[in-house]
């Protein structure tokens, strides 16, 4: 996921008319800006969602438009998504008390390479690992290392495999041995949130319908939705338009059209939604140290509904994985 970008939709807090966008302070920080603290000093402009039919000559960069992809893109995303999902499948038996997150990352890197794909997170924005492994109160972007997993931990493993330039980006939660019911419930509801978001990804709906479906379900269970990170367009570009917020109002935001390809990756907290970034400049943790969970799929919009590129070939989409 990416930190909320500079050109982020206005929040209710800023009391802007719905659909208005806030322009940033100029420079685009590494992963986008974190908040609208200085909203009062910023300028506003009317909403302008543009769509771009991808051809062979379309720039492999963010262009500001939402890309509409053809059959070749869907075929490429299927291959990349499958390798990413198979890598998560292969990690299932390794997640046990005593194993370190660094060991899991080494395995993930080797598996992606052995499958003929590129572990693109290595070197991305200075990141040095194939996966992000986020344990317990870590929301996302946990850095793999020497720390061993303990019985009762919950963790997210997020990895991306690139095939012929196509990015398959996916993450799942894992449970270490016996996990308290409270944590298992959070994991179950977070998976339900992802899938409710996916089900809302049909042509004619809007992005806000996806966010709303997720938020409604999370808040029904008295959990909170993390605001500081969003899902994203994906394809030949890792983090592309549009930003996919995991909260929202029905009928708002850009219309969903066939050919759109993006991730949905809700981060759901037991406590408050606030996060802070640790001194390593990556690790995001809940401010109140409450548990956080996340699942991610890369999907494409077709005439008849969503296609999930990162389904588990082994049916291991969510725990328990026995
Ligand atoms: N896979 C993450 C996402 O879901 C991004 C990780 S970037 C990294 O968008 F550099 F931290 F690996
Ligand atoms: Co992502
Ligand atoms: Co990811």
In the reported structure, the alpha carbon of residue 5 is separated from the centroid of ligand 3 by a whole-number distance in angstroms of 16
Q: Which ligand is nearest to the CA of 299?
A: 2
In the reported structure, the alpha carbon of residue 214 is separated from the centroid of ligand 3 by a whole-number distance in angstroms of 17
In the reported structure, the alpha carbon of residue 263 is separated from the centroid of ligand 1 by a whole-number distance in angstroms of 11
In the reported structure, the alpha carbon of residue 120 is separated from the centroid of ligand 1 by a whole-number distance in angstroms of 9
Strands 51-53, 66-68: pairing kind: parallel
Question: Tens place of pLDDT for every residue, the chain, 322 residues?
Answer: 777 543 333 333 333 333 333 333 333 333 333 444 455 555 556 568 999 999 999 999 999 999 999 999 999 999 999 999 999 999 999 999 999 999 999 999 999 999 999 999 999 999 999 999 999 999 999 999 999 999 999 999 999 999 999 999 999 999 999 999 999 999 999 999 999 999 999 999 999 999 999 999 999 999 999 999 999 999 999 999 999 999 999 999 999 999 999 999 999 999 999 999 999 999 999 999 999 999 999 999 999 999 999 999 999 999 999 8
The CATH class given to the 50-308 domain equals alpha beta
pLDDT at 279: 98
Which atom of ligand 1 is the closest one to the Cα of 129?
12
pLDDT at 2: 76
The residues spanned by each domain of the chain are 1-48, 50-308
What does the alpha-carbon distance between residue 265 and residue 67 come to, in Å, rounded to a whole number? 19
193 and 266 in contact (C-beta within 8 Å)? yes
Query: Ligand 1: which residue has its CA nearest to atom 2?
Result: 1
pLDDT at 47: 63
pLDDT at 148: 98
Paired strand residues for 140: 284
Mutation test of ligand 1: which of 62, 169, 277 has the most ligand atoms closer than 8 Å to its C-beta? 169
pLDDT at 41: 53
What does the alpha-carbon distance between residue 193 and residue 244 come to, in Å, rounded to a whole number? 14
Q: Which residues of 126-157 are buried (b: 16+ CB within 10 A; e: fewer)?
A: ebebbbbbbbbbbbbbbbbeeeebeeebbbbb
13 and 247 in contact (C-beta within 8 Å)? no
Q: Which ligand is nearest to the CA of 244?
A: 2
Beta strands in the chain (DSSP E): 2-3, 21-22, 44-45, 51-53, 66-68, 118-119, 131-135, 138-140, 154-163, 166-175, 224-225, 229-233, 240-244, 261-264, 267-269, 275-277, 284-286, 292-294, 297-302, 305-308
198 CB neighbour count, 10 Å cutoff: 19
In the reported structure, the alpha carbon of residue 252 is separated from the centroid of ligand 2 by a whole-number distance in angstroms of 22
Query: Ligand 1: which residue has its CA nearest to atom 8?
Result: 121
Which atom of ligand 1 is the closest one to the Cα of 131?
12
Q: Which residues of 267-303 are buried (b: 16+ CB within 10 A; e: fewer)?
A: bbbbbebbbebeeeebbbbbeeebbbbbbbbbbbbee
pLDDT at 50: 96
Which atom of ligand 1 is the closest one to the Cα of 126?
10
Q: Which ligand is nearest to the CA of 231?
A: 2
In the reported structure, the alpha carbon of residue 41 is separated from the centroid of ligand 3 by a whole-number distance in angstroms of 33
Please indicate, yes or no, whether the overall pTM of this predicted structure exceeds 0.85: yes
In the reported structure, the alpha carbon of residue 174 is separated from the centroid of ligand 3 by a whole-number distance in angstroms of 15
Query: Ligand 1: which residue has its CA nearest to atom 7?
Result: 121
Q: What residues does ligand 1 touch, defined as CB less than 6 Å away?
A: 1, 121, 124-125, 127, 132, 141, 158, 160, 169, 265, 296
User: Which residues have C-beta under 5 Å from ligand 3, the single-atom ion?
Assistant: 158, 169, 296
Which atom of ligand 1 is the closest one to the Cα of 169?
1
In the reported structure, the alpha carbon of residue 15 is separated from the centroid of ligand 1 by a whole-number distance in angstroms of 31
80 and 161 in contact (C-beta within 8 Å)? yes
């Amino acid at each position: 996921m990416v930190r909320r970008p500079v050109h982020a939709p206005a929040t209710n807090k800023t009391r802007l008319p719905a659909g208005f966008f806030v322009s940033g302070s100029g420079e685009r920080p590494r992963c986008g800006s974190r908040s609208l603290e200085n909203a009062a000093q910023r300028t506003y402009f009317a909403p302008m969602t543009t769509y771009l039919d991808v051809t062979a000559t379309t720039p492999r960069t963010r262009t500001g438009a939402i890309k509409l992809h053809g059959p070749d893109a869907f075929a490429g995303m299927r291959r990349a998504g499958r390798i990413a999902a198979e890598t998560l499948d292969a990690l299932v038996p390794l997640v046990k008390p005593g194993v370190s997150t660094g060991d899991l990352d080494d395995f993930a890197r080797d598996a992606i390479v052995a499958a003929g794909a590129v572990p693109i997170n290595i070197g991305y924005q200075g990141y040095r690992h194939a996966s992000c492994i986020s344990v317990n109160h870590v929301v996302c972007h946990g850095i793999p290392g020497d720390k061993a997993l303990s019985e009762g931990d919950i963790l997210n493993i997020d990895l991306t495999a690139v095939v012929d330039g196509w990015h398959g980006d996916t993450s799942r939660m894992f449970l270490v041995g016996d996990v308290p019911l409270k944590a298992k419930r959070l994991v179950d509801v977070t998976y339900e949130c992802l899938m409710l978001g996916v089900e809302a990804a049909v042509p004619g709906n809007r992005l806000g319908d996806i966010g709303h479906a997720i938020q409604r379900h999370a808040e029904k269970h008295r959990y909170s939705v993390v605001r500081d990170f969003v899902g994203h367009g994906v394809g030949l570009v890792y983090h592309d338009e549009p930003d996919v917020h995991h909260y929202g109002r029905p009928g708002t935001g850009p219309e969903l059209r066939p050919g759109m390809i993006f991730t949905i990756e809700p981060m759901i907290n037991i406590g408050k939604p606030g996060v802070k970034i640790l001194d390593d400049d990556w690790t995001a943790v809940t401010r109140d140290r409450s548990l956080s969970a996340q699942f991610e799929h890369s999907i494409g919009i077709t005439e008849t509904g969503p296609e999930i590129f990162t389904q588990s070939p082994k049916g291991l989409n969510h725990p328990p994985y026995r």
